[in-house]
């Protein structure tokens, strides 16, 4: 099940903690990847790592998601390089945390532009070749805070909630063409950033999770691999929450 052999995928934020886990999951199932991010050196190193481990001749395409021109060129560059695009994974995102009363305009604008607007532009661009092929999988990484809210993250929560509404709307528009549009909403996931937290802070976070631990990047990768597969062809407009029970959504 979930064999992605012969399929191609564009993954944004591919060299980050969750992004690299998503890329590994897709590559392990046979997909050929276009790895995108803003750090070209990290992308090349990760590409070489994937090629050595899984083969498939993966490629890297550097893109600054705050640059509209580069965003608009990313999907066409993927199609030119890989020959097609079957799967789009909108994973990249940033945080600019602050309380609402103190939040600067640029902190709001940066998060909305990269986390929400760039995802819209990539979805719009990907739909064109996917509609011609009458097949496509669009998976966007949101967050539990898009559903629950979080103090100090009004910009981030707004962007993540916006991704869910956008995915539901697009999913209705393109379902008849064999394209599904879904979201994966991680809870607390163990990354290099959380590894350096004091033990007391980690314990406090884990106490909020019924499973008593943070998730792993592989948990998110597995969810994406499922939604990207042919077996998930009757699932669209959905958000798959992967949070260890921290927030149980109906």
Asked if 46 contacts 121 with a C-beta cutoff of 8 angstroms, the reply is no
Q: Is residue 193 over pLDDT 90?
A: no
For residue 87, with 0-12 CB atoms within 10 Å meaning exposed, 13-18 middle and 19 or more buried, which class applies? buried
Q: For 168-178, how does the pLDDT look when each residue is reduced to its tens digit (9 = 90+)? A: 999 999 999 99
Which residues are identified as catalytic?
A: 156
Digit-coded pLDDT (tens) for 15-74 = 888 999 999 999 999 999 999 999 999 999 999 999 999 988 999 999 999 999 999 999
Q: How far apart (Å, rounded) are the C-alpha atoms in residues 175 and 115? A: 24
Contacts (Cβ under 8 Å, ≥6 apart) of 196? none
Q: How is domain 8-240 classified at the architecture level of CATH?
A: 3-Layer(aba) Sandwich (3.40)
Tell me what the pLDDT averaged over the chain comes to.
95
The rounded distance, in Å, linking the Cα atoms of 212 and 216 is 13
pTM of the model: 0.95
């Amino acid at each position: 099940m979930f064999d992605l052999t012969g399929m191609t995928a564009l993954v944004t934020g591919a060299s980050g903690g969750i992004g690299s886990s998503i890329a590994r999951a897709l590559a392990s199932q046979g997909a050929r990847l276009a790895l995108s991010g803003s750090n070209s050196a990290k992308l090349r190193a990760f590409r070489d790592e994937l090629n050595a481990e899984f083969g498939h001749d993966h490629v890297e395409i550097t893109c600054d998601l705050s640059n509209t021109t580069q965003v608009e060129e990313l999907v066409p560059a993927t199609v030119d390089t890989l020959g097609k695009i079957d799967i789009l994974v909108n994973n990249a995102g940033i945080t600019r945390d602050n309380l609402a009363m103190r939040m600067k305009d640029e902190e709001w604008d940066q998060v909305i532009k990269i986390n929400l607007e760039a995802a819209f532009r990539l979805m719009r661009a990907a739909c064109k070749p996917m509609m011609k092929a009458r097949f496509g999988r669009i998976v966007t990484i949101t967050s539990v805070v898009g559903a629950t809210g979080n103090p100090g993250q009004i910009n981030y929560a707004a962007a993540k909630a916006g991704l869910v509404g956008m995915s539901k709307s697009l999913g209705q528009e393109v379902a008849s063409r064999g394209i599904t549009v879904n979201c994966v909403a991680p809870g607390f996931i163990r990354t290099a950033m959380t590894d350096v937290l004091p033990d007391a802070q980690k314990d406090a976070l884990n106490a909020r999770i019924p499973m008593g631990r943070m998730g792993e990047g592989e948990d998110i990768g597995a969810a994406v691999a499922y939604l990207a597969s042919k077996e998930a062809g009757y699932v669209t407009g959905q958000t798959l929450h992967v949070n260890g029970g921290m927030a149980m959504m109906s």
